[in-house]
């Protein structure tokens, strides 16, 4: 997947970035890290299998929260739930 980002840096200059990521949670961690430097996200677009999705920029506030940890915990929980058989 590719992430395309437009920011305004500390010098009030527009900056454009694009990166390829294999894991969505890592992408979210990087976006949070960018905001923590004082940059302002103005546009974040996720491109995956030729589908484009605008991500909500206010979801990334620069807090020292690891999306990776939280998403991995959710993944463990749903895998555990999926492994439980359902009785008819």
- pLDDT confidence band for 17 (50 / 70 / 90): very high
Token pair for 54: 């605008």
The domain spans of the chain are 2-83
Q: What is the pLDDT of residue 78?
A: 82
Q: What is the pLDDT of residues 24-80, one digit of tens each?
A: 888 888 899 999 999 999 999 999 998 999 999 998 888 766 666 777 788 888 888
Token pair for 36: 């923590």
Q: What is the pLDDT of residue 24?
A: 85
Q: What is the pLDDT of residue 3?
A: 95
């Amino acid at each position: 997947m590719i992430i395309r980002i437009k920011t305004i840096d500390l010098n009030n200059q527009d900056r454009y970035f694009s990166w390829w990521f294999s894991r969505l949670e890592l992408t979210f961690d990087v976006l949070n890290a960018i905001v923590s430097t004082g940059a302002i996200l103005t546009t974040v677009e996720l491109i995956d299998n030729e589908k484009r999705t605008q991500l909500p920029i206010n979801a990334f506030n620069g807090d020292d929260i690891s999306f990776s940890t939280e998403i991995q915990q959710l993944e463990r929980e749903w895998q555990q739930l999926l492994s439980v058989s359902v009785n008819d």
